[in-house]
Amino acid sequence: MKTWLKTTLASVGILGSAMFALTGCGVKTDIKNNSSDILFNGGIVSVVGDHLVFSNGYKSDDISTIDNYNDFAKTTYLAAVNSSNIAEGKFKSPEGVKNLKSEVLGFKNGYTFVYGNSIYYAAPNKHKTSSNAHLFNYVSYFKCNFDGSGEKELFTTKSYDSAKAVVRALKYDEKGYLFVYDGTELNVVNLENSKTSLVSSKATSVAIPKEGEEWNGKVFYTEDKDNTAGQAGNEVFSYSVKDGKSTALKNSINNTVTFTGRIENKVFYSLKNESISVTKTMTANSNDYDSLTFASAAREYYSSEISNIISVTGNGSTGYDTILFTSSLSGSSQVLADNGNGGVSVVLANSEYSNVWFAHNGNVYYSTSNGISSKNIATNEVTTYVEGMKFVEDKFGYAFAESGNLSHIYFYAQIVYPEDDKTKDEDRDTNYYLFQVEVTGNHTISLVGQKK
């Protein structure tokens, strides 16, 4: 994979030398990471000291050819900028945006984070099959240095179901791990040595904690049972990063378990008794059990269809007062909060939101068809940060101040032209670039990405 050369060069010899300089030596940056943590800020941006590392733009269209891929990479590349260069309140690209890798990072399955002195990112698969075809719907995972050099492919999925996929960068016992569930296979990459291990080749659901949460070094997954006469249901396993081994958990005959989410060491799952066709949504502490029959350890929720479970206290917090989840009831999807004591309240009706993004300090942040807002679960107070822009509704990032309070939200959007602008419609830039909005104050919106 090579960095695009934008300058026209007259000689092939000069071209070769220039390409070596760009790919071998990288792009000069002064990024320094003094943190030993995994720096994850939502998956489209990472805050590294006074720099942002991010996907410059976003494309929602499917990639069909390598030319198509290369065209997308002209705006969706891996970029970096000193945050002090961002011109607040202006749709002007910051000075000094660096193109680190001309690959497609801004796509529906994109995932970016920083660990140590490396940037980790996902890109559409460019490997060819034996019949010389590209399968761009599969996903490849890479690491590179802060200057874009030293690129190393970690692994490429063998399939990818965006509706089921779960990707998490986690740290446990001073070691980093990247878990990738593509909807069928569950793999784990040891970030200390870049080695990939296959956990399961036929996982049907997973329970993996979210980035920044405290966890016990175990992930959980289910597999369909091998055909056994007279036995319905499925099998449940735990995988430990301590020894790299999976353990089968006890699961009663005729019970089918499907994991629906996890907060720290609490797992959420639906439990269906195949003999009576009843489905319940349950939770239990994964430190306390070795089976999923769950006597006193289990707690039943009143909805049988929940998803997108997040902690209201937000990123990196241990413990939580309220959990938040979406629930399909009466044919509509509501956002519900549960206080852990049996009290459940509706936070957002189906008509109020498009996508739930994240939660922090008692507020849930979400998108609508017209903007980005938050709602306080206790007071129902709504704050709108972005409206009237054409933006990507299901991709976001966030940053925190030293105080721990939320400082910025990052999102992809199109450039807004003034009403009196004379640019013809066909000449206007309709690409999606990374923007930021201040959470406090006047909610100032600024362009982060480099315009084409």
Tens digit of each residue's pLDDT (9 = 90 or more) over 396-433? 999 999 888 999 999 999 999 888 888 888 889 999 99
Rounded Cα distance between 54 and 277, Å, is 46
Residue 222 has pLDDT above 60, yes or no: yes
Share of the chain above pLDDT 90, in %: 58
The predicted model gives 44-64 an average pLDDT of 95
Confidence at residue 14, expressed as pLDDT on a 0 to 100 scale: 37
Strand-pair partners of 176: 171
The predicted model gives 24-31 an average pLDDT of 78
Amino acid at site 113: F
The predicted model gives 4-23 an average pLDDT of 36
The predicted model gives 32-48 an average pLDDT of 97
Q: Give the model's confidence band at 291: pLDDT under 50 very low, under 70 low, under 90 confident, else very high.
A: low
Question: Token pair for residue 435?
Answer: 């923007």
Confidence at residue 5, expressed as pLDDT on a 0 to 100 scale: 28
The predicted model gives 34-61 an average pLDDT of 96
What is the rounded average pLDDT for all residues in the chain? 85
The predicted model gives 111-136 an average pLDDT of 93
Interval 435-449: pLDDT, tens: 999 999 899 999 999
Given a contact cutoff of 8 angstroms between Cβ atoms, the answer to whether 255 and 233 are in contact is yes
Residue 4 has pLDDT above 80, yes or no: no
The predicted model gives 213-219 an average pLDDT of 92
Q: Give the model's confidence band at 227: pLDDT under 50 very low, under 70 low, under 90 confident, else very high.
A: low
Residue 277 has pLDDT above 60, yes or no: no
Q: Between 151 and 253, where is the model more confident?
A: 151
The predicted model gives 267-288 an average pLDDT of 68
Residue 338 has pLDDT above 90, yes or no: no
Share of the chain above pLDDT 70, in %: 83
Where exactly are the structural domains of the chain? 20-156+394-451
Distances (CA, A) of 51 to 142, 276, 314, 320: 20, 56, 23, 31
Given a contact cutoff of 8 angstroms between Cβ atoms, the answer to whether 262 and 273 are in contact is no
The total number of residues written for the chain in this structure? 452
Q: Between 342 and 208, where is the model more confident?
A: 208
Lowest-confidence pick of 20-29, 90-99, 162-171? 20-29
Residue 17 has pLDDT above 60, yes or no: no
Interval 64-116: pLDDT, tens: 899 999 999 999 999 999 999 998 887 899 999 999 999 999 999 999 999 99
Question: Token pair for residue 32?
Answer: 């320094």
Confidence at residue 266, expressed as pLDDT on a 0 to 100 scale: 80
Confidence at residue 421, expressed as pLDDT on a 0 to 100 scale: 86
Q: Give the model's confidence band at 317: pLDDT under 50 very low, under 70 low, under 90 confident, else very high.
A: very low
Residue 288 has pLDDT above 60, yes or no: no
Q: Give the model's confidence band at 297: pLDDT under 50 very low, under 70 low, under 90 confident, else very high.
A: very low
The highest-confidence range among 232-236, 334-338, 347-351, by mean pLDDT, is 347-351
Place of tokens 């060069």: 9
Distances (CA, A) of 285 to 136, 204, 268: 39, 21, 9
Residue 16 has pLDDT above 50, yes or no: no
228-232 long-range Cβ contacts below 8 angstroms, 24+ apart: 232/256, 232/274, 232/275
Confidence at residue 133, expressed as pLDDT on a 0 to 100 scale: 82
The predicted model gives 347-352 an average pLDDT of 90
Q: Between 290 and 217, where is the model more confident?
A: 217
Confidence at residue 362, expressed as pLDDT on a 0 to 100 scale: 87
Lowest-confidence pick of 18-22, 137-141, 177-181? 18-22
Q: Give the model's confidence band at 282: pLDDT under 50 very low, under 70 low, under 90 confident, else very high.
A: low
Lowest-confidence pick of 10-14, 75-79, 384-388? 10-14
Q: What is the pTM of this model?
A: 0.88
The predicted model gives 352-371 an average pLDDT of 92
Amino acid at site 388: G
